[in-house]
Amino acid sequence: MADNKPAMDIAALEAFLSREFPQAFHPASGLSIEKVWFGGSRVRQAFRDHFIRPGGTISGPTMMMLADFALYVAVLAAIGPVGLAVTTNLNINFLRRPEQCDITAEARILKLGKRLAVLECSIFSDGVAEPVAHVTSTYSIPPISGT
């Protein structure tokens, strides 16, 4: 899977997500897409006070949400806006306590099949090299309409 042209660029992805997922992807959400390519994505969640947990860390569900977003963007960037690709499995290992700052996620497709895509994703405290969490996930890709 070469680092080449995605099926949708950042502008097309943002337009699609704003239209289809307005509850999740909207100007106040703090979510943004930093990079996409055929085979992966890098996304960001701006820090929000309600993500804080005891000890000055960021909640697990916030990381899971961002991973889910990165994975979906990577799938769309590979197969285009065919709609209704759905997560069937997500496995997350929490590695280190995130700091109280933005978090970023980098997703990478391990396998793109006709029916399933398998991906991995690493989550980072912004600017820190060691990941705070690691995710693997499977998406079910809908049959092309008409079949």
Q: Which residues bind a second copy (CB under 8 A)?
A: 20-21, 23-24, 49-55, 59-61, 64-65, 68, 83-84, 86-96, 110-111, 115-116, 118, 120, 130-131, 134, 136, 138, 140
| Nearest to a second copy of 3, 130 (CB atom) | 130
The least CB distance from residue 57 to a second copy, in Å, is 9
> Residue 74 region, left (φ>0) first, then alpha (ψ -120 to 50), else beta?
alpha
CA 22 to chain CA centroid, nearest Å: 16
- Residue closer to a second copy by CB (options 3, 49) is 49
What gap in Å lies between CA 137 and CA 87, rounded to an integer?
A: 7
Question: Rounded to whole angstroms, how far apart are CA atoms 53 and 75?
Answer: 30
- Smallest distance, a second copy to C-beta of residue 134, A: 5
Exposed/middle/buried for 92, CB within 10 Å: 0-12, 13-18, 19+?
middle
Minimal distance, residue 92 CB to a second copy, in Å: 5
Nearest distance from residue 90's CB to a second copy, in Å?
5
Nearer to a second copy, 33 or 135 (CB): 135
